[in-house]
Amino acid sequence: MQNEGRKIMHLPDMKVTCTCVRVPVLRSHSISVTVKTKDKIEVDAAREAISHAAGCKLVDDLANKVYPMTLDTSDQDLVYVGRIRRDLVWDDALTLFCCGDQIRKGAATNAVQIAELLIRE
């Protein structure tokens, strides 16, 4: 998981902390990601940004037990993002959980979409 992002972005020194757990599911994969930023980002600001991000669906209501689950993400291109919280180690980092259909929204699709974003900038 750590090396895939470095390879796609051509940034061999990019620092990434993540947890990847394989669980037998029909279609979708899930990951836990820690995002360390230059400036501190508040959890509510991250939720707001993710709620408007193309290709993402904010699913983050722990009080009502609503969070990303692999069963909900099959057969679609959206990546569900939730369980957004302040990282316990880094003050300028957030941890979040994502689920997505690995066939519809796998590494190849992500690589193309990242390239399209870089070309636009």
Ranges of each domain in the chain: 2-116
Question: What does the pLDDT profile of the chain (121 residues) look like in tens digits?
Answer: 667 777 888 888 887 666 666 666 778 888 888 899 999 999 999 999 999 998 899 999 989 989 998 889 988 889 999 999 998 878 899 999 999 988 877 767 777 888 888 898 7
Q: How many CB atoms lie within 10 A of CB 44?
A: 9
- CA 116 to chain CA mean position, Å: 18
Task: Give Cα separations from 29 to 46, 71, 78, 99 (angstroms).
Answer: 22, 10, 12, 6
Homologous superfamily of 2-116: Dihydrodipicolinate Reductase; domain 2 (3.30.360.10)
pTM of the entire predicted model: 0.74
Structure tokens at 121: 């900038």
Q: Residue 68 contacts by C-beta under 8 Å, 6 or more apart in sequence? A: 30, 59, 80, 81, 82, 83, 97, 98, 99
